[in-house]
Amino acid sequence: MEQSATSSLLRLTGITKAYPGVLANDAVDLSIRAGEIQALLGENGAGKSTLVKVVYGLLQADAGGIRWRGQSVDIESPAHARQLGIAMVFQHFSLFDSLSVLENVALGMGIDADAALAKRIVTVSERYGLPLEPARSVYTLSVGERQRIEIVRCLLQAPKLLIMDEPTSVLTPAEVDTLFATLRRLAGEGVAILYISHKLDEIRALCDSATILRGGRRVAEADPARATAHDLARLMMGDAVQLGDQAADARGEADAGAGVVSAPRSARLGQASPQPLAARGPVRLATRSLDLPADAPDGQALHGIDLSVAAGELVGIAGVAGNGQDELLAALAGERLASLAAQVWLDEVPIGHRGPGERRRSGLCAVPEERLGHGAVPELSLSENALLTAHHRAPVARRGPLFDRRAAQAFAEKIIERFDVRCDGPGSLAASLSGGNLQKFVVGREILQSPGVLVVSQPTWGVDAGAAATIHRALRALAAEGAAVLLISQDLDELMSLCDRIGALCAGRLSAFYATRDVDVRQVGLLMGGAATLEAVA
Amino acid sequence: MRLERRAAPSAAMVWGAPLIALALTLSAGCLLFALLGVSVPGALHAFFIEPVTTRYGLGELGVKAAPLIMIGVALSIGFRAQVWNIGAEGQLIVGAIAGGSVALALYEVQGWYVLPAMAAGGLAGGMAWAAIPAFLKVRFNANEILTSLMLTYIAALALSFLVSGPLRDPDGFNFPESRLFHDAALLPRLWSGTRLHLGAAVALAVVIAGWVLLSRTLLGFALRVQGQAPRAARHAGFRSSTLTWFSLLAGGAMAGLAGLFEVAGPIGQLLPSISPGYGFTAIIVAFLGRLHPVGVLFAGLIMALSYLGGESAQITLGLPLAVTGVFQGMLLFFLLATDVLIRYRVRLGATR
């Protein structure tokens, strides 16, 4: 894999970057050729983001050198990086919802939003199979379409190196396939692609080579075509990790050639029939014809949502982002109240008019999709973030106006320990944690409150395989103890491997639910696309 | 020279920024004095030292600082929750009107209950005035900055009307003033030979109460979460309408009580103008004190000194009273500018 300095497009030697308390990159070497798709693989906090931020000029390395096309360079800003021909698509998009595609592209490039630019957008987007209408407002677009804007914005600048930070975490299987075709085409034209991910099967399907980081150090280079997913996972997480977990296996053994989504299940269309209720226990959470108007111009109204989750059951709701997931979570968590109390039931009590605090005290906890600013407050410590939702329930709850700081701290410490949250202790700010670690904290905070009903949205979004396995195990254990768990997710692998029953949300309407063992990914895809039942399309 | 974003907000700069702002204000002040042709050391002495060299001066410092601190603490609580009550001056005036009216209604009534009744009037008046923007905000999502500010001018005109009409002293030769309050309606003095009154002790109690509220109670926690992440507050079950009501009513209550203390303390009657802008200056005090009750205590003393210094500079140096406003304005200006240092650091030298 080693290239000489002259043939590599970008060559990093001994990149070191320290943050207070953490050595994020420790003498990392990396080299990438033109036309190469290289994976940058590692757990949360392994230093992937830091490394690419150094390359993109967002951070300055404390030590180490960068050679770009054989020349030693000092990349001092993103503008400089773009000038050199380095472009980056971030995990979180920087788009203005109320502006059009054209205006967003123009703003990102610092040029005028004129007809010539619109024409270039159309040309580039058609050439790479990324259809975009320049005049559309961004808020009307799906997440996949938004990502296209970011990619097209990069391509317009004819980059030589394209950095993609976990681009598939928000895409549907079909969108992933389109993206991969585009990336392969770009590589064929000589563009080098540095692809950050921790989805092992994706990397095996797409990448020519892989650099693996662990704890800020480069631990290995691997050939993803030859290495098994199991090998990659072992390199990424170290030998200490047992891969006996079912979820990790499901991910690891997935057939790489067929793209991302492929579950080891046989298609049995026709045998599947809507599953009224598993006979596992009493219904703990239910909604009856729940309607909810959209509360923002880009919001999604909910229409006639009927669902029920029994004790001990894990029920999954699939769907592409923006189809009412946020609204459903808000309606179940009590952030938005139903118009009738009898539209939401908890343990056979109508709770449609109860707020989030009352619902929590009655045993219904929730994890929203967005961690920063919704599930957690960035500028508060982990102790205070533990208090945020746990003050309603034992052991943190306390009578009277004062809160119990020690109980909150002890609870935060328990979450940190049980969910292996990497941080400087309960005093560290939520914002200082990497996304995956904060996710572990937020999910752990709710699970450790031993709720009777847990509604959780995207529990493993941006979380590495090891942490995802921890979260999945905890969700299963919670259900095994008799809780009802409702899992709203865009990750089909996750839903298929975890849930007893599965349905899908599309345009604010919920499909029928099916026993997960009776359906395959393609059938769930039909439900995600708006089929109310499988019989309707069979 | 360029600004570079810090990895984490600097804790040192949270408190360093106001000190730098003070230093910059002093430097700009010296420049101003020099331009005005007065001796800089003499002016500084007159402005900052002379007012606190006497016992009476120290007492005056407490008299001026008490309302600033009371209101500043209450505003800090609201500002933490991003509730921008800019109309404390109006709430102060209505509190003074309500409490003062109680004093006039109980004219020459002797009894321990007169002052508590007046204080209750002051609290109720201020809260009622603050309830208007609170209601408009919660019910119609009307911007409380505008509504509370506009209500200030209504309050000022109402006071002017009342002391020229219904509350005018019948034996006052038609001057727009109320009767002088009788002794049972005047605040007890804390320090003989000065005008330092009970309000200073109340202000200290308010500092402690504010501190406990913000750092130890669930309500204070909810206010902080609401300010930093409203969606997280809703997720945690904190009601934004409750927090908005509390923030505005707390500000109104403290401003109203401070207004009552002014008329029952140093002034002793209702006049067309009863405050040199304490309600507005308290906004600067709140930010200078980093929205922290203990910080507000010190910031209140500094701003009180600027009032005294302005008067002293007027007397000794013949400078216009506007110099007080200039100093206060510069302080806020520099504070807002130096606050950038909390999140950014200054790098000297050319870019690499």
What is residue A5's three-state secondary structure? coil
Interface membership of A369 toward B (CB under 8 Å) = no
| Position A21 confidence tier, pLDDT thresholds 50, 70, 90 | low
Q: Is residue A391 part of a domain?
A: no
Q: Is residue A385 part of a domain?
A: no
Closest CA–CA distance from residue B23 to any residue of chain A (Å): 29
CATH assignment at residue A18: 3.40.50.300
Cβ density class B41-59: b for 16+ within 10 Å, e for less: eebbbbbbebbbeeeebbb
Q: How far is CA A449 from CA A128, A338, A375, A444, B256, in A?
A: 48, 25, 15, 9, 44
Interface membership of A356 toward B (CB under 8 Å) = yes
A498 shares its domain with A510 = yes
A455 shares its domain with A361 = yes
Is residue A20's pLDDT more than 70? no
CA atoms of B274 and A469, how far apart (whole Å): 67
For residue A102, give the amino acid letter. L
> What residues of A are in contact with residue B218 (Cβ under 8 Å)?
391, 401-403
Tens of pLDDT, residues B147-196: 999 999 999 999 999 999 899 998 888 889 999 999 999 999 998 889 99
* B7, B229, B237: residue with CB nearest A373: B229
Is residue A279's pLDDT more than 70? no
> Is A392–B237 a contact, with Cβ atoms under 8 angstroms apart?
yes
Is residue B229's pLDDT more than 90? yes
Query: Which residue stretches of A246-377 are H helix?
Result: 246-253, 325-333, 356-361
Tens of pLDDT, residues B106-145: 998 899 999 999 999 999 999 999 999 999 999 999 999 9
Q: Is residue A276 part of a domain?
A: no
State chain A's mean pLDDT as an integer.
83
* B7, B217, B229: residue with CB nearest A377: B229
Of A377, A391, A424, A456, which to mutate for an interface test with B (greatest number of B Cβ within 10 Å)? A377
- pLDDT at position A538 is 59
**What ipTM was reported for this prediction?**
0.86
Q: Is residue A277 part of a domain?
A: no
Q: What angle is formed at CA B295 by the lines to CA B290 and CA B296, rounded to 5 degrees?
A: 90
Is residue A222's pLDDT more than 90? no
Is residue A242's pLDDT more than 60? no
Q: Are B278 and B71 in contact (CB under 8 A)?
A: yes
Tens of pLDDT, residues A405-432: 899 999 999 999 999 898 888 999 998 8
- pLDDT at position A200 is 74
* B219, B225, B237: residue with CB nearest A360: B237
| Position A162 confidence tier, pLDDT thresholds 50, 70, 90 | very high
Q: Is residue A402 part of a domain?
A: no
A97 shares its domain with A227 = no
* A333, A373, A387: residue with CB nearest B221: A387
Question: What is the rounded average pLDDT of the residues B80-98?
Answer: 97
- pLDDT at position A237 is 65
Highest mean pLDDT among A275-284, B36-45, B288-297, B335-344: B288-297
- pLDDT at position B243 is 96
How many domains does chain A contain in total?
3
Using a CB–CB cut-off of 8 Å, the residues of B that contact A are: 7-9, 216-219, 221, 224-225, 228-229, 231-232, 234-239, 351-352
* A74, A378, A379: residue with CB nearest B352: A74
Is residue A268's pLDDT more than 50? no
Q: What residues 419-438 of chain A have any CB closer than 8 A to a CB of chain B?
A: 429, 431-432
Tens of pLDDT, residues A447-475: 999 999 999 998 887 777 788 888 999 99
* B8, B216, B232: residue with CB nearest A429: B8
Is residue A62's pLDDT more than 70? yes
A218 shares its domain with A71 = yes
CA atoms of A235 and A154, how far apart (whole Å): 32
A145 shares its domain with A220 = no
What domain range includes position A200?
1-85+159-171+182-257
Closest CA–CA distance from residue A532 to any residue of chain B (Å): 30
Q: Is residue A393 part of a domain?
A: no
- pLDDT at position A133 is 87
> What residues of B are in contact with residue A331 (Cβ under 8 Å)?
none
> What residues of B are in contact with residue A377 (Cβ under 8 Å)?
225, 228-229, 232
Q: How far is CA B149 from CA B92, B306, B307, in A?
A: 12, 24, 22
A328 shares its domain with A462 = yes
A79 shares its domain with A215 = yes
| Position B350 confidence tier, pLDDT thresholds 50, 70, 90 | low
Tens of pLDDT, residues A310-351: 999 999 999 877 788 999 999 999 999 999 999 999 999 999
A295 shares its domain with A227 = no
Q: Report pTM.
A: 0.73
- pLDDT at position B352 is 45
More confident of the two residues B1 and B302: B302
Tell me which residue has tokens 């509604």.
A455
Tens of pLDDT, residues A96-146: 888 899 999 888 777 888 888 999 999 988 888 788 888 888 888 877 788
Residue ranges per domain, chain B?
A: 62-289
More confident of the two residues B324 and B130: B130
Q: Is residue A513 part of a domain?
A: yes
State chain B's mean pLDDT as an integer.
92
Of B141, B235, B238, which to mutate for an interface test with A (greatest number of A Cβ within 10 Å)? B235
Express as a percent the part of chain B with pLDDT over 90: 71
Of A295, A388, A404, which to mutate for an interface test with B (greatest number of B Cβ within 10 Å)? A388
A152 shares its domain with A166 = no
Tens of pLDDT, residues A23-47: 888 899 999 999 999 999 887 668 8
Closest CA–CA distance from residue A330 to any residue of chain B (Å): 8
Is residue A231's pLDDT more than 80? no
A393: nearest CA partner in chain B:
B236
| Position A259 confidence tier, pLDDT thresholds 50, 70, 90 | very low
Per-residue 3-state assignment (H helix, E strand, C coil) for B41-110: HHHHHHHHHHHHCCHHHHHHHHHHHHHHHHHHHHHHHHHHCCCCCCCHHHHHHHHHHHHHHHHHHCCCCC
> What residues of B are in contact with residue A376 (Cβ under 8 Å)?
229, 232
CA atoms of B94 and B121, how far apart (whole Å): 9
